[in-house]
Amino acid sequence: MARGRFITLEGLDGAGKSTHLTWLVDTLRSRGHVVVQTREPGGTPLGEKLRALLLADSMHLETEALLMFAARREHIAQVIAPALARGDWVVCDRFTDASFAYQGGGRGLERGKLEILEKWVQNDLQPDLTLMFNVSPDVAMNRVTRMGRDLDRFEREQQDFFSRVRDEYLARAAASRGRIRLIDASRTVNEIQVSLEEIIATI
């Protein structure tokens, strides 16, 4: 049985990830793949409890990083690794690039500590493809505030935080040797779907 593919979606809050996630999962299913759709932080009953804490409660930045990776450890063990071993495809809304971007870039946690956690929790597991939705922090923040719902602890951050998150995302994309595909998310939904079609045709 061939191992399934592991695809992650990344970008600032408000970059439009959620719209494209639904389309991507439907498209892959229509091509005959069995797709497990999941998210981080979360994806398991324990991970969803950690998510609720992470999005609501203030905490030390290292506690935040450790809880993100604790949720991820459970997620890999319970959901991601078994699905890939079955030959299913996994589409995950955020993964470790978000820890580097938000806890590393945004909050300033040393990259070396994140790399230790990454190695510990993932060993050699990495996404086969990461779709990174790239918009400017002001466009993203406008979209988030226009949604009109209560904002979580990350969405309430200021523009300079999102600028650092985005810079880290872009630096990781540049260093990723093709794993991360940058998508200009300031375009229309249809234009973006055309790009996504081209990208998924290659994997």
**How many Cβ atoms are within 10 Å of 75's Cβ, its own excluded?**
25
Integer Cα distance of 98 and 136 in angstroms: 16
- Interface with ligand TYD includes 102 (CB under 6 A)? yes
Query: By CB under 6 A, what part of segment 30-59 binds ligand TYD?
Result: 39-41
Shortest Å distance, C-beta 202 to ligand TYD: 25
21 lies in the binding site for ligand TYD (CB under 6 A) = no
Tokens of residue 123, six digits = 């060993």
Residues 123-162 touching ligand TYD, rule: CB under 6 A, are: 154
Of the candidate residues 5, 13, 114, 172, the single one contacting ligand TYD (CB under 6 A): 13
* 78-97: contacts with ligand TYD (CB under 6 A): 93-94
Cβ closer to ligand TYD: 93 or 167?
Answer: 93
Using the rule CB under 6 A, is 182 a contact of ligand TYD? no
Nearer to ligand TYD, 35 or 114 (CB): 114
DSSP states of 26-92: HHHHHTT--EEEEESS-SSHHHHHHHHHHHHS---HHHHHHHHHHHHHHHIIIIIHHHHHHT-EEEE
Which amino acid, 39?
R
The site that binds ligand TYD (CB under 6 A) totals a number of residues, namely 13
Q: For residue 140, what are its two tokens?
A: 């993203």
Cα–Cα nearest to 40, from 77, 106, 99, 94: 94
118 near ligand TYD, rule: CB under 6 A: no
Residues that bind ligand TYD (CB under 6 A): 13, 18, 39-41, 68, 93-94, 98-99, 102-103, 154
